[in-house]
Structure 1
């Protein structure tokens, strides 16, 4: 059964630095959900608090009503794989050592699936963990996250270091295993264009606050591009929320957000080309408005 994750007015500080500011969020639907934000937005802090790795300065974080901090009943349901990989410790000299440790610590661990992933990701149990390349370390970390089969699984940029073909193989494995074993999966990524097609829900966080939380389909439907003769584009886009525009000769393209329900129909009637704005473009435009780097 998919657990319900709830954050209630969660605030967290590192000294004088405010990392999360009054965040309230509930996730209860099984799915691969995207946590998006620019560097320093608070994504990693949020995931660390949810995993019970540290205690929030203020507010409550619960999994099925149980507090996650210092609560084994809750944290045993959670697996977080961070950018660092979390693949080395004094007990994991080899990949086989890491698999043995995971088998002992993860109540939902699937050993047969882990072995299949070793072949898929071209890893050997005999490999020394400290000798792995960055890409190999990322593959091993993602293997641990997938095979853990935790009801709440989080990947925090854990596939950085993988080349593009390997990342796509990971996305395929993630989707395949989710379809076979539905659960709550939260993914933080800067490769939004690559992985957005998997998202069921999208959370955008900026300056430590939740800017947006809605279904991926609804978010895609809120952005639209119009392309055609400049005068016709300007006429249809008049009064709309224009995110960007480009002009080449007499042809113009505009990206719009929160468009009126009938705008696309009117645009097509005027002979304009229309297309849904990708989630990555919506994210970039929304978070760029405040001058982030």
Structure 2
């Protein structure tokens, strides 16, 4: 696959706060990425720099092989949909769509009209009088109908109810299948978007701690429940990211893959295995602090018997 974004040693400092710390990253063409992490982790700053709405303190940024700053060739190929997008005081939804239609070369007006109907969006009401969900719908419709080669969605649907969010997910996947492009989806609703994303990027305190396919990320951890002493022997010397206990029963989430010897031990000790959801993995790793990404991908040593 071809890389459409390349970041090399990107750093962004706000006064005494480091928002991004020596970030190096590649984003491939025609793939859906989940850009995940806690509030203030650096997700919005990263997307703002990539779309030339912010400036790096140091490092290199390339989008389609060029610097995006004041570069119309690059900017018209990207769409950045962000939470709480600002519009002129008297602006209406129809004005936002008219401007988008002029700016984005691949704009699909028929698709936009279908989405307007699905989201039940009034076109002649000023944006400031629309509900939070209706305001979110404007950005989502622009992000989908623009069919930009790279589209960044920065929590644009937070005002949506469950039905509207599902409509967005369904429409995104269906249109992506027919019109592949690169989508970067930043979300706190990790469980909801887990089945949409093909690649996972996790930022914690300005640093990339996970950058891998969603399939590989799901294999990085396992949850084990059962006798506390048996589990203690199993996880000795391994990287545990969460631990709970109640009397003689323990529940442990640990990084790494299990060997055949591990599985034999687990069966003999009558321990229970459970997969770790993408949300659980990200919550646990960001709760406990950054985890060495290389350590998470390595095979775990076998249990000594």
Regarding TM over 0.5, the answer is yes
1:280 aligns with 2:279: yes
Q: Which moved more, 1:241-250 or 1:131-140?
A: 241-250
Q: What is the CA-CA distance between 1:210 and the residue it aligns to?
A: 1.3
Q: What is the CA-CA distance between 1:18 and the residue it aligns to?
A: 2.1
**Which residue matches 1:181?**
179
RMSD, aligned CA:
2.1
**Which residue matches 1:43?**
43
Q: What is the CA-CA distance between 1:264 and the residue it aligns to?
A: 6.1
CA–CA distance in 1 between the matches of 2:190 and 2:253?
A: 18
Change over 3 Å in CA distance of 1:13–1:245 after alignment to 2: closer
Unaligned runs of 5+ in 1: none
Q: What is the CA-CA distance between 1:11 and the residue it aligns to?
A: 1.4
Match of 1:108 among 87, 106, 112: 106
1:81 aligns with 2:78: no
Q: What is the CA-CA distance between 1:85 and the residue it aligns to?
A: 2.7
CA–CA distance in 2 between the matches of 1:131 and 1:267?
A: 62
- String of CA shifts for 1:36-86, please: whole Å, max 9, x gaps: 121211111100000011222212211121111110111111100111134
Q: Which moved more, 1:238-247 or 1:149-158?
A: 238-247
**Which residue matches 1:55?**
55
Unaligned runs of 5+ in 2: 291-305
Q: Provide the aligned length of Structure 1 versus Structure 2.
A: 289
Q: Which residues of 2 match residues 151-166 of structure 1 at below 5 A? A: 151-166=149-164
Q: Which moved more, 1:16-25 or 1:42-51?
A: 16-25
Q: What is the CA-CA distance between 1:19 and the residue it aligns to?
A: 1.5
Match of 2:214 among 190, 203, 216: 216
TM-score (norm 1): 0.91
- String of CA shifts for 1:209-268, please: whole Å, max 9, x gaps: 212211111010011111234444334333332222333454432211123444663365
CA–CA distance in 2 between the matches of 1:264 and 1:35?
A: 33
Q: Which moved more, 1:9-18 or 1:255-264?
A: 255-264
Q: Which residues of 2 match residues 95-244 of structure 1 at below 5 A? A: 95-244=93-242
| SS in structure 1 at match of 2:289 | coil
Q: Which moved more, 1:107-116 or 1:170-179?
A: 170-179
| SS in structure 1 at match of 2:194 | helix
User: Any conservation in 2 of the 1:267–1:274 contact (CA below 8 Å)?
Assistant: no
Change over 3 Å in CA distance of 1:30–1:176 after alignment to 2: same
CA–CA distance in 2 between the matches of 1:110 and 1:134?
A: 25
CA–CA distance in 2 between the matches of 1:100 and 1:231?
A: 65
Q: What is the CA-CA distance between 1:154 and the residue it aligns to?
A: 0.2
Q: What is the CA-CA distance between 1:119 and the residue it aligns to?
A: 1.3
